[in-house]
Amino acid sequence: MYTKTLISMNWHLWMLCMVFLLGAGCQTDDDNVQKEPEENEQGGENPDEETDPEKEPTTADFENMDPDLPSFVSIDDTTPEDMQWIKVDGLTDEFDSWDEIKWFKPLWNYDVPVQMKAENSGVADGNLWIKATLDEGAERWFETSRVQSKEQISYPMYTESRIRTAHISAYNTFWLNNGDISNRNEIDVIENNSKPSCGCQPDFPWQMNSQYFHVIDDDTRREKGNFDNRNLSNANPGKGIKWNEEYHIVGVWWKDATHIQFYLDGEPAGSVVSERDFTRDLNLIWDLWTFDADWLGGLAKKEDLLDDSINTMKVDWVRTWKLEPTQ
């Protein structure tokens, strides 16, 4: 009995030693794998590495845009490398006085009831103005005017104008054109109506109506690039401000024969791509007109034409640049 007990004890002691030796000398595969560094408390893998997020524009940025360059350059400069903006004097004016070398008044008419008149436009108090007045009893009772540049321009170029609309149901326009109804190249930067009378265009007080026309022998190609100013960035002072309530800067970057990018208050708005190449040099034009159609917003109300506080479109300035290679 004693002998069996001693043998059993020796066997158990031998087994305990073997377990200890094996446990001390063995490692699992996991023990040999180098672990990834754990993320720091802020969630980054490298606490010494700092990110530089893209700077969002501030209200101060919009209020201090450089007048010597297109407005968007002060907000988000997308000017191509090795290119520069060169101001075009013949298509730039602060409207301190009427400059007959730069501008004239072509008085061809739209449809009834529009009547173009030279005396319904001019320059005063630092603005180019176009006024709508009433000729009661006449078939063409909506008296208005048009101003056009003498100089023409082609792509690549950028132009912008600071405009406050007349608060009547009419299109307040800034556009580029060369040709007639049957053959023309046309870029409409704005056709804005802050007071539609039809009850059918609820977004018009904020909607920037922009488009192009390319017409050859009455074959028309066209695309709209509209934009709602309520979609501007939160820091932009123009966001949600109706066209008649404050001046807005409206512009277009005519990039090449087919690509056209519109701008509003320093930010990209709508854009269009022409189905055919633009081939003509274009003039700058402003005018003010109405028509009895829902697409325009409805006919102007005659009583509004008698109110001098709302019947005048005002243009603070226009500035134009060509995009040219750097020297």
Q: Assess whether the previous peptide bond of 156 is cis (omega < 30° from 0).
A: yes
Structure tokens at 196: 């539609």
Residue in 36, 50, 160, 186 annotated catalytic: 186
| Cα–Cα distance measured from residue 269 to residue 208, given in angstroms and rounded to the nearest whole number | 8
- CA–centroid distance for 68 within its chain: 19
| Cα–Cα distance measured from residue 264 to residue 271, given in angstroms and rounded to the nearest whole number | 12
Buried b (16+ CB within 10 A) or exposed e, 46-69: eeeeeeeeeeebeeebbeebeeeb
Longest Cα–Cα distance in the chain: 139
Nearest to 275 by CA among 200, 215, 205: 215
| Cα–Cα distance measured from residue 111 to residue 212, given in angstroms and rounded to the nearest whole number | 20
Which run of H or E residues covers position 297?
Answer: none
3-state helix, strand, coil in the chain (%, to 5): 15, 35, 50
Residue in 45, 54, 81, 191 annotated catalytic: 191
186 noted as active-site residue: yes
Query: At 119, phi and psi to the nearest 5?
Result: -70, -5
Query: Across the strands, what pairs with 212?
Result: 187, 223
Q: The dihedral of CA 41, 44, 50, 54: what is its sign? A: negative
Cα-based angle 124, 129, 132 (whole degrees, multiple of 5):
130
Q: The dihedral of CA 259, 264, 268, 270: what is its sign? A: negative
191 noted as active-site residue: yes
DSSP state string for 178-210: EE-SSSEEEEEEEEE-SS-SSS--TTTTTEE--
Catalytically active residues are: 186, 191
